[in-house]
Amino acid sequence: MIKSLRPLFFASLLLPLALPVSAAPINTALSPNVEKALKASKLQDNALSLVLIPLNGPGTPTVFNADVSVNPASTMKLVTTYAALEMLGPNHQWKTEFYTDGTLSGGILNGNLYLKGGGDPKLNMEKLWLLMRDLRANGVTQITGDLVLDRGFFMQPQLPQFNDDGNDENKPFLVKPDSLMVNLKALRFVARNDNGKVLVSVEPPIATVRIDNQVKAINSKQCTGGVRYNPVTQPDGSVNVTVGGQLGEGCSSQTYLSLLDHATYTAGAVRAIWKELGGSIQGRDRLAPTPKDAKVLARAFSPDLAEIIRDINKYSNNTMAQQLFLSLGQRFRNDADG
């Protein structure tokens, strides 16, 4: 299937240059709706370059500023995802696994619990919960050792900085890739005015994120005003989030922020879920490779690559695209590549 699409893909790139003058008429003007959208965004016509080509049935090609060099921006994700389909295959999956170097007796795991990442771009909280539910179903309740994160799957080069939206490191779409990325490292904050009292919660409930709720409840049915979040990272790596503003009766507000490094977020998410499942981890959190003789306790697989690519391109997800890029390098990179 993929090989059959290859000629069409490259032909579509060359077609705007190859259409003869005597071919079907070509539209070189923008539609009124596009013109309106450009004006609404305060953009000039020369800010847009496009080529629209009918693939099936009748239609008139549209070519506008097609010979102008522009920044490809997020359309470059098409190159990454096409390469992944060609090289990894549409059914490729990533795996995430729990291992131990200890022994299990009576629900007590005497040893360390290793969480080995495989670069899954879509390891969300639900998938992590299911994986840990399998761990619980396999008889594990208490863990006497450490929670050890194995993030060695990717060999990460020095990637160029992605400077967008002021390079605000708290923006979820600027999260950098990681072998053991969970939930795109996003924290969901929700503020609700319930009977004149504002409640603020965070999901997942990671212990190293502390909330200072200073939001004022106002006697108004209109959900105006706003809620502001001011995170401050502490020397120990925890984050204090001061939440301010005001919220009307019955109103709610939510936002997503990235406030922790990958290791702290993942370990915190694991501990939060394990606590909900009635388990405990007595040791500390640390980073280390999984021992070669460790025993697997539970394993989860990602959706197929074809499904993940739909998410990457539909939502233009920067972090997932970088995960995919590094997955290609992990599979095909060799020493000669430098």
Quick: pLDDT tens for 102-139: 999 999 999 999 999 999 999 999 999 999 999 999 99
Would you give the DSSP letter of residue 27? B
Domain with CATH 3.50.80.20 in the chain: 95-162+177-181+261-337
Q: What whole-number distance in Å separates Cα of residue 230 and Cα of residue 51?
A: 43
- Asked if the model's pLDDT at residue 336 lies above 70, the reply is no
Instruction: Using alpha carbons, select from 202, 209, 217, 286 the residue that is nearest to residue 251.
Output: 217
Amino acid symbol at 39: K
Q: What are the b/e assignments for 264-303, b being 16+ CB within 10 Å?
A: bbbbbbbbbbbeeeebebeeebeeeebeeebeebbebebe
The model's confidence at residue 24, banded by pLDDT at 50, 70 and 90, is: low
Task: Please report which confidence band the pLDDT of residue 224 belongs to, taking 50, 70 and 90 as the band edges.
Answer: confident
225 in Cβ contact with 245 (< 8 Å): yes
Which CATH number is associated with domain 95-162+177-181+261-337? 3.50.80.20
pLDDT band at 11 (very low <50, low <70, confident <90, very high): very low
Q: Please tell me the predicted confidence (pLDDT) of residue 9.
A: 45
Residue 37's contacts (CB-CB under 8 Å, 6 or more residues apart) are none
Running DSSP on this structure, what letter comes out for residue 48?
-
DSSP letters along 33-46, please?
A: HHHHHHHHTT--GG
Q: pLDDT band for 161, please (50, 70, 90 cuts).
A: low
pLDDT digit string, tens, across residues 132-159: 999 999 999 999 999 999 999 998 666 6
- Decide: 65 and 46 in contact? Cβ < 8 Å: yes
Cβ(259)–Cβ(233) below 8 Å: yes
pLDDT value of residue 22: 45
At 244 the three-state DSSP class reads: strand
Cis peptide before 204 (omega within 30 of 0): yes
**pLDDT > 90: what percent of the chain?**
73
Q: Which of 319, 209, 212 is nearest to 268 (CA)?
A: 209
Q: In the predicted model, what is the mean pLDDT of residues 294-317? A: 97
CA 182 to chain centre: 8
Question: What is the rounded distance in angstroms from the CA atom of residue 241 to the CA atom of residue 256?
Answer: 13
